[in-house]
Structure 1
Amino acid sequence: MSGANPAVFRRSRRQRRVSQFLNTTMRHLLDFMQASWVPLRLRKSLTLRMGLTMLISTLVILSGVGLYTANSIRDGIFQERLNQLLVESASRAKTAQSRLDQAPVSTVEQVQSLAQEVVTSITTMTSGGNAPSVLILRNPNETSAIVINEIVTGNSRETISPELRQSVEKKTGQYWQSVKLTDAEGRTFPGIAVGTALNLPLAGAHELYFVYSLADEQANLNLVMQVLAGGGLALLLLVGAMTWVVVYSVLVPVRRTVRTAERLAAGDLNARVLSQGQDEMAQLADSFNKMAGSLQSKIDTLGQLSRLQQRFVSDVSHELRTPLTTMRIADDVIFDARAELDPAALRSAELLHDQIDRFDAMLADLLEISRIDSGSARLSFETVDINSLVRKVIADNDSLAQQVGCEVVFNPPPYPCTAEVDTRRVTRIVRNLLVNAIEHSEGNPVTITTDTSETAVALRVSDHGVGMTPEVTSRVFDRFYRADPARTRTTGGTGLGLAISLEDARLSGGTLEAWGKSGYGSSFRLTLPRQNGTEMGPSPLELTDYVEPKLEEYQAQTGGEDA
């Protein structure tokens, strides 16, 4: 026996749909994993990562196992049926040849009738739908003058390929080939065509073909594939559900710990994680609770120290008020009689007067900081015109500007900038910003700009002095911070002015921001809501009026050097 390539069963429509579903699902999963917005979700959800990983892994494993199992079952069923059909067709061909050799015929009609009887006996030997289609075809190489009509049962003449006929023409055995059959309803199913040489009396060499249908085997294979696909889908859903249950049950304590950590971060120091059992999750909860207890103890200790420090600063500031008042009275007497003093004593009286003023300002700043830290600061809001407030502050510090040789330029809009503010605190903010700008202006003009919108009012103080580096800008509101400790101060400040201004802005519901550029100057922008307790919105002023010079302007300023 010899044969062509192994037969391949036709996949049923349902099997193709299952295969297409698996391929589509895999493609969608891969597209989902590669989407630009997925990585963020995957990083945030361990359940999603584990679920997708298990589903994809299970799908790949089931697909591989299913394909291997289906191919093995298909090849096994086909090979077993092929062996049966080859033995059966060989036996029928031998019986037919024996009957033809023993029959006495002398005419063409007798040969035709004998061949038809042989075909009929072969088809009637098998009952039911498993009876093969039988064909007797004349060998193209036969030269006998006796020619009979081809005998064909069923619609199987077109299934015999030229390649199979060429193999049978060799007359050296049995040959088979996988074929595709079509029923009356147009449905296709696999089959096997087996051919062998046949010698008819008088007519000479012919070819005998048996065409067997494998529809029953295909139906059985389809049933097996449906069972495998259904079982695989059920297993996939089961694995997904089990993965979700397991991961969810494992992550419940983790989520509980996360929520507790968020409560701790929000200030609830009494938050604790519920600890159940003795497994790793329980150990995690116990360790977290110990950490939370330790943090609470440390924070309570630091809170007590902070309260003691605030009380100390407040008490010392208040206690210093009494001797300072006495020193102030004595200083006023001495300073008023300074015209009668000799030059050395006069210089001492002036120094004493200046230092007592500085000491008084320092105590006032310390008291204000202690009130802010203790949360006892009180605000009194009233509707005022910021432009009028700025003009008053400029007038109060006119002597300082003249002493430094600095011109203060005020650029108000042509309309009022009214807002509901604490006049005392806003005045202090503007005064601190203006004095700070005059101190660092290097004699250049200081510009104050105001503007308003429907929800906010803003003020910007800009100087064109030494400016600030990014490091200085980030720390300019720190208490007692000085960018250049060796720099001589005209007003003898305490180093708390900008820190107090920032706290005043926050208490008023606004913001205070700083910008600086070395060699150009610096800007401070105060933005406040127009009505107390309402949304402030964006500031109506830019943080700075600085514009980066173009290359031509820069080269003109630097004498044509490269930027």
Structure 2
Amino acid sequence: MLFRRWRQSLQFRAIAVALTLTSVAFLATGSFLSHQIADRLFTDRLNQVLEEARTDIDTAQASFDASDASDRTEVQALINSTLGSLSQDTGSTDHRWILIPLDQGPGQSFVGVQSESSWMTSATVPQQLQQRVASADGTYWQPASARMTENGPEQPVIVIGDVVQLNQNSRYGLYFVYDFSDPQATLDSIHAVLLLSMVALLLLVGTIVWYVTREVVRPVSNTARVSQRLSEGDLDVRMQVRGTNEVARLSRSFNRMADSIQTQITQLEQLSSMQQTFVSDVSHELRTPLTTVKMAAEVLYNAREDFDPVNRRSAELLHNQVDRFDSMLSDLLEISRFDAGAARLDMASTDIFTVIYDVVEAAAPLVVTCGSELTVRSTLTRCVVQMDQRRIDRILRNLVTNALEHGESKPVDIYVAANENCVAVAVRDYGIGMDEEQVTKVFNRFWRGDPARARTVGGTGLGLAIATEDTRLHGGRLEVWAEPDNGACFRLTLPLLRTQPLDPELPNPLSLPPADRFTESTARVTDTGSLQLTAPAVGPTVEPDTGQLLIAFPAPSDDDAARPGSESGRTPASSGDTARREPGAVTAGGVVVPGETSRGQTGPTGGTHTGSSAVVRGDGTEKP
């Protein structure tokens, strides 16, 4: 939560930084002041009690030296009178005395541990201090904690000790316990004041920073909100202008920019609307006269054998150009339908290889004319997709035609692959290719890579734009890769099911571009323009990972071998062959198609072999 606020709010970040820096500065200053104050309080108090203790020790030693007490009773009375008078004379400080013998004398005058207060014993004096006093001359002190009253709590004290001698040179350690609770209470009060001052200062600094950043960030936030609304299409939104400061100048400049953008967008929308209306009107108006011209051209074309060579050639040219004009007009009408939002899909479950082979077969004359080689490559032989067959056929025809036109008589490959979510079809050529700028414009309307380039098939530059719209209607993607002099590759990706969109987490079944010749071919167009199917390995196998049945082509019959146009590498299926399948599914090239029946044999793939299936039409003709 805080991290998200830190990233999204400049005001929160400024306040957090200001409070953090203020806290660090105050802690450093407070620690320094606390240390100095505590040191001064402790030093002054320590010097005071040390001076007082030395005076009392000297006074006690003088009294002991002047006394002639000889027995224990007299010595006890001397100690009580001398040290008691010291406690009565010193009224400025609260302290207690303890007398501890250092030598265990055998005489009658020896007395034990003496204490002003009964609850104080030799244990009150730290053992380390007792050792230091006994081993060396001088006055020593050490901090400790002790009870200054009988039932009171332990308080911080300073114990000061020195050696005194009684009669017969008996050595005793005289210790004074001074109460240091007052300096500690003073220091605690100072700490409390510093802490309260820190809290008050943080609140004050936070309030000041909040107000300042609010005044600075609020215009920026308003600008961000207005910009977002402007980007969402609300062209009428503007910023409020107040005063003549920098923010006001920013608001005025922003509003002028918004006015300019609104004017330009309005003009572009008007021009676009006029263009769309013009294209739609012209396309519809030309349809009727074109139909009449086309009928007349058909009549002339069918009767061309009765004409002389010049008129015969003219009839052929007229027929071809009218067909080309009709195709161009159809593209314009299709674009107008996309602009009007009237395009609809006619969805059906279709084997995409059927569409691909239709496209390849239709492109066979162009393959022969271009002197190229068109090959279908895949590890699959069947893949059913929910799609509008007419639109997908149009997309693939456009991609294949463009690849052949710009392929410079080099091979053109069609790759097909699928996973559990989608199917991908890539058309790869090795021709002139495109640079980065051309790649960014390739899907624009009326754009052509080289308008001056001679073309074998006419076009308006709308083919890829229409293909993009058809792909969008299917919820798919149409992508391009190209390099100058290394060809181009267009990849069409479609979801297998209409209700199951493309999963962005799954990798695409085909890389862009696919690995060169990554698998054996399943079909190709020969030099004569006929469609040749590649025979897969013979014999059913079982896929080792899933246990699914993979069905291969049977051996060709004598009728198939004798059929005109059949080659040694082609193994079509006869109409009487029906593949056995598991209940509810047909395994086709590793893709399970629920609810489909097998009308023809499919070849085993499983990533090892490739092949193509020849399905049989209802009229008995074969279809790859």
- TM-score of the superposed pair, with normalisation by structure 2: 0.65
- Name 1:300's counterpart in structure 2: 266
8 Å Cα contact 1:438-1:463 kept in structure 2:
no
CA distance in 1, matches of 2:495, 2:215: 49
| Alpha-carbon separation, structure 2, partners of 1:548 and 1:130 | 99
Equivalent residue number for residue 460 of structure 1: 425
- Percentage identity across aligned positions? 37
Q: Which amino acid aligns with 2:46?
A: L
What is the 5 A alignment of 1:316-355?
316-317=282-283, 335=301, 338-339=304-305, 350-355=316-321
The structure-2 alpha-carbon separation of the partners of 1:475 and 1:277, relative to structure 1 and needing over 3 Å to count, comes to closer
* Residues 1:87 and 1:461: Cα distance change in structure 2 (over 3 Å): closer
The equivalent position to 2:78 in structure 1, one of 111, 114, 125, is 114
Among 18, 33, 50, the alignment partner of 1:54 is 18
Rate the CA distance shift 1:291–1:84 in 2: closer, same or farther, 3 A.
same
State the distance in 2 between where 1:297 and 1:523 align.
40
What one-letter code is carried by the residue in structure 2 that aligns with 1:179? Answer: P
Greater mean deviation of Cα atoms: 427-436 or 284-293? 284-293
C-alpha distance 548-63 of structure 1, shift in aligned 2 (>3 A): farther
* Alpha-carbon offset, residue 52 of structure 1: 2.7
Cα distance per residue 1:74-97 (max 9 Å; x no partner)? 223223323432443354345435
Deviation at 1:360, TM superposition (A): 3.7
SS at match of 1:546: coil
Q: Distance in 2 between matches of 1:185 and 1:288?
A: 78
Q: What is the match of residue 514 of structure 2?
A: 546
Conserved in 1, the CA contact under 8 Å of 2:480 and 2:490? yes
Q: Does structure 1 conserve the Cα–Cα contact (< 8 Å) formed by 2:75 and 2:109? A: no
SS at match of 1:296: helix
1:419 alignment counterpart = 386
Partner of 1:133: 97
| d(CA) in 2 for partners of 1:267, 1:230 | 53
1:375 aligns with 2:340: yes
Q: Matched residue of 2:490: which SS?
A: strand
Number of the residue aligned with 2:188: 222
Q: Are the counterparts in 2 of residues 444 and 463 from structure 1 also a CA contact under 8 Å?
A: no
Conserved 8 A contact 2:432-2:484: yes
More helix per residue: 1 or 2?
A: 1
> Which of residues 70, 78, 91 is equivalent to 2:42?
78
Secondary structure of the corresponding residue to residue 40 of structure 2: helix
Contact 1:462 1:544 in 2 (8 A): no
2:63 is the alignment partner of 1:96: no
The aligned counterpart of 1:261 is: 227
Pairing 1:527–2:493 present: yes
Task: Quote the RMSD (CA, aligned, Å).
Answer: 4.5
Distance 1:313 1:185 in 2: 106
Structure 1 residue 356, shift from structure 2 partner: 4.2
What amino acid is aligned across from residue 386 of structure 2 in structure 1? A
Give runs of aligned pairs for residues 441-480 of structure 1, distance below 5 A. Answer: 441-443=407-409, 446-448=412-414, 456=422, 458=423, 460-466=425-431, 468=433, 471=436, 472-480=438-446
Cα shift at 1:389: 3.8
Q: Aligned partners of 2:109 and 2:398: how far apart in 1?
A: 126
Residue type of the partner of 2:226?
T
Is residue 434–residue 461 contact of structure 1 (8 Å, CA) maintained in 2?
A: no
Measure, in 2, the Cα distance between the counterparts of 1:376 and 1:218. 85
Deviation at 1:368, TM superposition (A): 3.3
Whole-Å separation in 2 of the counterparts to 1:452 and 1:44: 42
Alpha-carbon offset, residue 212 of structure 1: 1.6
CA change 1:126–1:193 in 2 (3 A) is same
Partner of 2:143: helix, strand, or coil? strand
Unaligned runs of at least 5 residues, structure 1: 1-31, 170-174, 551-563
Q: Hey, what's the Cα distance between the residues in 2 that align with 1:239 and 1:275? A: 30
Residue 436 of structure 1 and its aligned partner are, at CA, apart by: 1.9
How far apart, CA to CA, are the structure 1 residues paired with 2:265 and 2:482?
A: 36
Task: List per-residue Cα deviations over 1:432-482 (Å, max 9, x = no partner).
Answer: 1222233244555545455666765x4514345327356254443234444
Contact 1:101 1:201 in 2 (8 A): yes
What letter is aligned with 2:198? G
Matches of 2:163 and 2:82 in 1, distance apart?
Answer: 15
* Alignment: residue pair count: 503
Deviation sequence 1:248-295 (CA, Å, 0-9, x none): 575444334323322221212223345667766565545434432332
Judging changes above 3 Å, is the alpha-carbon distance between structure 1 residues 57 and 548 closer, same or farther for their aligned structure 2 residues?
farther
Q: Tell me which amino acid in the other structure corresponds to 1:222.
A: D
Shift in Å, 1:192: 3.1
- SS for the counterpart of 2:236 is coil
What is the CA-CA distance between 1:301 and the residue it aligns to?
Answer: 1.9
Partner of 1:14: none
How far the C-alpha of 1:162 sits from its partner, in A, is 4.8
Once the 2 structures are TM-superposed, how far is the Cα of residue 334 of structure 1 from its aligned partner? 5.7
- The question of whether the paired residues in 2 share the 8 Å contact of 1:448 and 1:459 is answered with no
Shift of 1:379: 1.9
Assess, with a 3 A threshold, how the Cα gap between structure 1 residues 194 and 383 changes in structure 2: closer, same or farther: closer
Question: 2:143 pairs with 144, 166, 179, which one?
Answer: 179
Instruction: Indicate the larger mover: 235-244 or 85-94.
Output: 235-244
